Chains A and B, each alone.
Chain A
């Protein structure tokens, strides 16, 4: 594994996760496509992990400002995305 290098492992992970995503998402019924999209949106807020890493080790002022902006934007996605998805899914009731 060590010789394979981080990039190669990353590419394997990316390819397999994409395939898994395809299998998962094609089975989501059309009626849930909007919550699916806003939920996926929240998940793309995972960039917050990267934002915390770069902000934590930032030394120059510019890097700190960019890092904080990245954290704020990712956090809008995370909190806003999961909350609005929950709000929508709460409306889907069967009578």
Chain B
């Protein structure tokens, strides 16, 4: 068997292992092994490439790998679980950037590429990779609060973006030798600039609350960029892995949109997700029933079933460890404790589950919306911690701005305890009728301190 065949077979094995690895992600019990398989697939692909490629100098390759490996390793080890959306966001950007640079380097080594397939795939790789790169940095800056999380909009924004895209495509065609009003190399640099600018313009109008959608979408783009790079250099394993990632990102994007009952177009062009221009004067003006930690402990400690609903407020306050202690203590008293997690409870798909897993909550106690919504009617008490819009019964009212959004039906439980800092509205900017219901008790305070108080009070129950 000659070397080329062996290399090609290694690539094939690598592609198969990526698929098997993803398949094992279908259960928490096998997921870790699946991730290791995918890593093995990557190692095989890298080794095959190093054996096969005509390499003039190893210096740059090894330096690049060392730099990237050290940065990636440190980031992976030190990142806080609350910052996972930022990390994934910036990693998306690096993936897209790498794919774009592959296309760029390919063009620079052959500026007379012409208007054939290689030229078109090179432009696609540059465009998708460039948009992913700059868009991901904006998403990172928003999540890291280096810039405002509110939508940044200007009049005629969508029209401007469309014109820019058309100009970009014309310049792109010039790069390949069409029209001829610019040198191909000059045209190419302009094309790169337009790609990066488009990435920025596509993400700035999207608000902080919509970031789960954006992160998922950029994840999809980073896969498509890798696929495009695969077309550029004619490598099947890039095309396959890129397609797998592209599909994964797209599915998560759709799930996040469904979780907010919005279309992708509405997220992308709606400029929603901020709190500008909402009349807040009537919010929080009605009387509520308040409860102190002692009363809350008594409500939770003597019943059969409790469902805990964590929201983003809990994550911000880093209250997950105290919350888990509350759950453990209640279980120790014989209470059946479950955790109900809304699809958009965190800042990225599945974020809340990771935070609770980190706090050592057993994964078989985590339930998603479809699994648990029918149970609320038979639940003695619900403890909502730092969640708002995702438990707002207004979603059932066709006239509400959140009409049709899937919510956790916590109001159907016999007793609802809402732990919150104040009566201020969530991202949707509207009041929440749940807070004023007869069976609701408001438990005000900082999530972390309140949960610590609750731990103490539950311990003191007889």
Which of A's residues lie within 8 Å of B, judged by CB? Answer: 6-7, 10, 13-15, 17-22, 24-60, 62-64, 66-95
Q: Which of A47, A57, A71, A88 contacts B95 (CB 8 A)?
A: A47
Is A34's CB under 8 angstroms from B351's CB? yes
Question: Please, which residues of chain B bring their CB within 8 A of the CB of A19?
Answer: 247
Question: Is A36 within 8 A of B25, CB to CB?
Answer: yes
> Given the complex, which residues of B lie within 8 Å of A63, measured CB to CB?
105, 108-109
Taking CB atoms, residues of chain A closer than 8 Å to B87 are 38, 80, 84
Query: When chains A and B are docked, how far (Å) is the Cα of A34 from the Cα of B248?
Result: 11
Counted as pairs of residues, one from A and one from B, with CB atoms less than 8 Å apart, the total is 384
A38 and B67 alpha carbons, distance in the complex (Å):
20
Closest to A67 in B: B105
How far is A77 from B50 in the complex, measured between Cα atoms in Å? 18
- Tell me, in angstroms, the Cα distance from A66 to B431 when the chains sit together: 52
Knowing A56-B54, A59-B109 are in contact, say whether A41-B95 is a contact too (CB < 8 A): yes
Residues of B within 8 A of A13 (CB): 236, 239-240, 243
- Whether A57 lies near B72 (C-beta < 8 A) is no
**Contact (Cβ within 8 A) A66 B252:** no
Alpha-carbon distance between A82 and B241 when the two chains are bound, in angstroms: 15
- Are A14 and B243 neighbours in the complex by a CB distance under 8 Å? yes
Secondary structure at the A interface, as helix, strand, loop or mixed, is helix
Q: How far is the CA of A31 from the CA of B68 in the complex (A)?
A: 29
Q: Are B230 and A10 in contact (CB under 8 A)?
A: yes
Which 3 residue pairs are nearest across A and B when measured between Cβ atoms? A75-B68, A21-B247, A33-B350
Question: How distant is B46 from chain A, measured CB to nearest CB, in Å?
Answer: 6
With A and B bound together, what is the CA distance between A40 and B102 in angstroms?
A: 20
Query: How near does chain B come to A6, taking the closest CB pair, in angstroms?
Result: 6
B360 within 8 A of A: yes
How distant is the Cα of A7 from the Cα of B81 in the complex, in angstroms?
A: 42
Bound form: Cα–Cα A55–B408 in Å: 52
A70 to chain B, nearest CB (A): 4
Most chain B beta-carbon contacts within 10 A, residue among A41, A55, A56, A69: A41
Contact check, B362 vs A44: say whether CB atoms are below 8 A apart. Answer: no
Given A58-B105, A60-B108, 15 additional A-B pairs, CB 8 A: A14-B242, A18-B243, A31-B363, A34-B354, A37-B215, A41-B222, A42-B38, A43-B18, A48-B42, A56-B56, A66-B104, A71-B65, A72-B68, A73-B95, A86-B39
CA distance A90 to B42 in the complex (A): 20
What secondary structure prevails in chain B residues at the interface with A?
helix
Contact status B343-A30, CB under 8 Å: yes
**B245 sits at the interface (CB 8 A):** yes
Interface residue B358 (Cβ < 8 Å from any Cβ of A):
yes
**A89–B36 alpha-carbon span in the complex (Å):** 11
Encode B41-84 as 1/0 by CB contact (under 8 A) with A: 01001100110011111001101110111011101110101001
CB distance from A1 to the nearest CB of B (A): 13
Interface residues of B in 320-373 (CB under 8 A from A): 341, 343, 346, 348-351, 353-354, 357-358, 360, 362-364, 366, 368
Find B38's partner among A25, A29, A39 (CB 8 Å cutoff).
A39
Whether A40 lies near B26 (C-beta < 8 A) is no
Is B45 touching A49 in the complex (CB atoms < 8 A)? Answer: yes
CB neighbors of A among B17-48 (8 A):
18-19, 21-23, 25-29, 31-32, 34-36, 38-39, 42, 45-46
Chain A min CB distance to B294 (Å): 29
Question: In this assembly, does B267 line the interface, its C-beta being within 8 Å of a C-beta of chain A?
Answer: no
Q: Is B238 an interface residue (CB 8 A)?
A: yes
Q: What are 25 A-B pairs with beta-carbon distances under 8 A?
A: A13-B236, A17-B244, A28-B25, A33-B350, A36-B248, A40-B219, A41-B95, A41-B245, A43-B38, A45-B42, A46-B237, A48-B42, A51-B102, A55-B60, A59-B56, A67-B105, A70-B105, A74-B98, A75-B64, A77-B72, A80-B87, A81-B91, A84-B87, A86-B39, A92-B357
What is the bound-complex CA distance between A26 and B350, given in angstroms?
14
Which chain B residues lie closer than 8 Å to A57 at the CB level?
Answer: 53-56, 109
A74 touches B247 (CB 8 A): no
What chain B residues lie within 8 Å of A29 (beta carbons)?
Answer: 26-28, 368
